[in-house]
Chain A
Amino acid sequence: MSLFCLGVNHKSASVDVRERLAVAQHALAEHLHNVHGLDAVDETVILSTCNRVEVYGAAAENASAIASVRDYLNKTFEMAPGAVDFYELSDEEAANHLFEVASGLDSLVIGETEIFGQVKKAYSVAQSEKATSRYLNKLFQQSFSVGKLVRTTTKIQQGSTSIGAVAVDLAEQIFGNLKGCKVMILGAGEMSRTTAQSLVSRGASSIIVSNRSFDKAEELAGELDGRAIRFDDWERSAADVDVIVSSTSAPHYIVTREAVEAAMRARPARSLFIIDIAVPRDVDPQVNQVENAYLYNIDQLQQIAADGKAQREKQLKICRGVIRDYLEEKGIEALREPRSGKPKPDASTSSADPSYTAGPLPPHS
């Protein structure tokens, strides 16, 4: 029995290709049945996320299994043969790749943890659809162990890599738990939205949105379950918030030292975290001189995020060493159990027919 992996990811294929190949959650079972129904394939797991579409499989003979899966994908998703540059990995390479994927080493944001859950879910669906057997069961169980091992024994998760994550980390080092923190957003742009969502995801509440266009403020406030205020009123409300996120398109400073000093006089013992993600800047740098007010602009946030990325990239070598050691110790040979027979899906179901074409499916994350 051999192991194989056929797929594309954010490094090997453009988003156009990835979205055409993406397998929607509701169609996953169907595709699993179809791939599992291919003669050359004994076991299979399909992993489809916004950054990758990969088919893992176990087969008696890899070359024919890979060819049949490739043909199936081309046919199903109406791709011309050869139009997609699939990577094809076998045995140790495929196992190593899965372990790297589960550990977040192959992700766009190195070390991110979401992929671990996605791998688990893909395996769980395949298992419940009876598309896996002892070989892939063991391999995926091992990938979960390796994923945990890499995360606990290295610093791959240390350091924030996005502006939103950096803002959240800084806010947590100021306020501790963000539950109950009040956030004011100046400017209803995309960056404000993303940063505010990051803060809300960690428990921040009472979102106040202020924008020159009140309609846009109301729209964003509705989205974030907050309330909109007129732009002229933001200074009055500033005394009662913990975090200000500013990203207006104003050509001059909106948040002045005088305005912040006035706000702080009303709450001297309460810290104020100001995130200025506008270019040109919205917040006068002098604001950072105000006691108990902490100002971060986009350059500073990006620098911290870049440091976080660099730190994670440095960890890649160590993480790969952990995976290599694991593979050397356990060895892919350990997976090679005596063949227990292929548990094929019920022949009466239409989805078991390998010639069945599900057609292009909508992209998903």
Chain B
Amino acid sequence: MPEHSLFLLISIGFFAAGALLSTAVLRRGEVAPAWMRVAPALIGAVFLTYFLEQRGEMHRRCPITNGAEVLTFIGWSVVLIYLLLGQAFRLSLIGLFTLPVIATLLGAAFVWLSFDDPGPRPHDRVDPWLEMHAALSLLAYGGFGLAGIAGVMHMFQNRQLKGGHPSGLFYSLAPIRYLQTALFRLVLIGTILLSAGIAAAFFMQKSPSLTHWIILGAVWVVYAGLLLWQRFWPLPPNRFAGLTIASVAFAFATLAVL
């Protein structure tokens, strides 16, 4: 197994271990302390960064040259935003929902690479604007991914409250108002990053294809529209959460075309 694949596998192990440990504690009716999610996420992120760095060295460019690398880069973006903002937004237990998603994304990437690794790209001249465009766009997808996770948490909390008899987990998750605030902010961060990514595309040596522009534009319109709508004609938060989940599903589906 190549060294970089080993790094990827180790990082998957840490993310999965964090998710499994927290879930096991939860099944006992307790809530695992935050370090049980943050520490594996942090160590996993270090190994994932090693993996991306080695792939980058191999290609001599940003390691987003195939589907598996794109999945890995999105996983890295999600964990980065989780570590940077998850605690700041007081999103208690968001790690419980985030770690399995990251482990699944990376697991899929690992299997993909194991069966179909296209190997190093030819070392031709690299367009820094293309690199910037791709990296910022995928970071934006990381933000959208985390917004989708916060949306799921919001829908869970809303359902528990509406049901009239909330479970133990309800009291451990973040209050619904914090989730609403975080949802809006994560969509905003994602949209700003995507806007910057799209702006970078205008400076690329070779303009992206029309399909690429249409898809990117559609994702941007969906999220910018969502923000504007929420800003000027506020939707009930649960509907906003539902739309955030639908939007992230749409955004991730576009990756298959891109």
Contacts and interface: CB of A to CB of B under 8 A. Distances in A.
Interface of A: 155, 169-170, 172-176, 264, 268-269, 271, 288, 291-292, 294, 296, 300, 303-304
B213 interface: no
Interface in B157-205: 157, 161-162, 164-166, 170-171, 173-178, 180
A41 to B, nearest CB: 45
Given A155-B29, A291-B236, A174 B177 contact: yes
A271 B90 contact: no
Given A172-B175, A174-B175, A294 B165 contact: no
Contacts of B170: 173
A174 B234 contact: no
Nearest to A294: B161
A155 B29 CA distance: 10
A268 B237 CA distance: 8
Contact of B176 (A155, A174, A300, A303): A174
A172 B236 CA distance: 19
13 contacts: A169-B171, A170-B161, A173-B166, A174-B161, A174-B175, A176-B90, A176-B178, A271-B176, A288-B164, A291-B238, A294-B161, A300-B164, A300-B165
A300 B157 CA distance: 17
A272 to B, nearest CB: 11
A73 to B, nearest CB: 44
Contacts of B111: none
Contacts of A296: 164
B239 interface: yes
B166 A268 contact: no
A173 B238 contact: no
Given A175-B175, A268-B235, A288-B162, 8 more contacts: A173-B176, A174-B161, A174-B175, A176-B174, A264-B236, A269-B237, A291-B236, A292-B236
Nearest to A264: B236
Nearest to A174: B176
A264 B157 CA distance: 19
A129 B33 CA distance: 43
Interface in B224-258: 230, 234-240
Nearest to A269: B234
Contacts of A264: 236
Given A288-B162, A294-B162, A303-B165, A173 B237 contact: no
Nearest to A297: B164
A176 B178 CA distance: 7
Contacts of B164: 288, 296, 300
Chain B interface size band reads 20 to 34
A286 to B, nearest CB: 13
B161 A175 contact: no
Contacts of A169: 171
Contacts of A172: 175
Interface string B200-224: 0000000000000000000000000
Contact of A292 (B90, B174, B238): B238
B177 A176 contact: yes
A155 B166 CA distance: 18
A333 B35 CA distance: 40
A286 B142 CA distance: 39
A172 B161 CA distance: 12
Chain A CB count within 10 A is highest, among B29, B164, B230, B238, for B164
Contact of A175 (B29, B177, B235): B177
Contacts of B239: 291
A174 B181 CA distance: 12
Interface string B90-102: 1000000000000
Given A155-B29, A170-B166, A269 B235 contact: yes
Contact of B171 (A173, A271, A288): A173
- Report the 10 A-B pairs with minimum CB-CB distance, sorted nearest first: A269-B234, A291-B236, A176-B175, A292-B236, A300-B164, A294-B161, A176-B177, A175-B177, A268-B234, A176-B178
A176 B174 CA distance: 8
Nearest to A267: B234
A300 B234 CA distance: 30
Nearest to A242: B177
B29 A271 contact: no
A296 B170 CA distance: 16
Contacts of A155: 29-30
A173 B165 contact: no
B177 A271 contact: yes
Contacts of A292: 236-238
B130 to A, nearest CB: 39
B165 A268 contact: no
Contacts of A291: 236, 238-239
A321 B239 CA distance: 48
Contacts of A288: 162, 164
B31 to A, nearest CB: 10
Nearest to A172: B175
Contacts of B90: 176
A173 B157 contact: yes
Nearest to B176: A174
A173 B235 contact: no
Contacts of B178: 176
Contacts of A304: 165-166
Contacts of B30: 155
Contacts of B180: 269
A268 B239 CA distance: 11
A97 to B, nearest CB: 29
Contacts of B157: 173
Nearest to B181: A176
A175 B174 CA distance: 10
Nearest to A288: B162
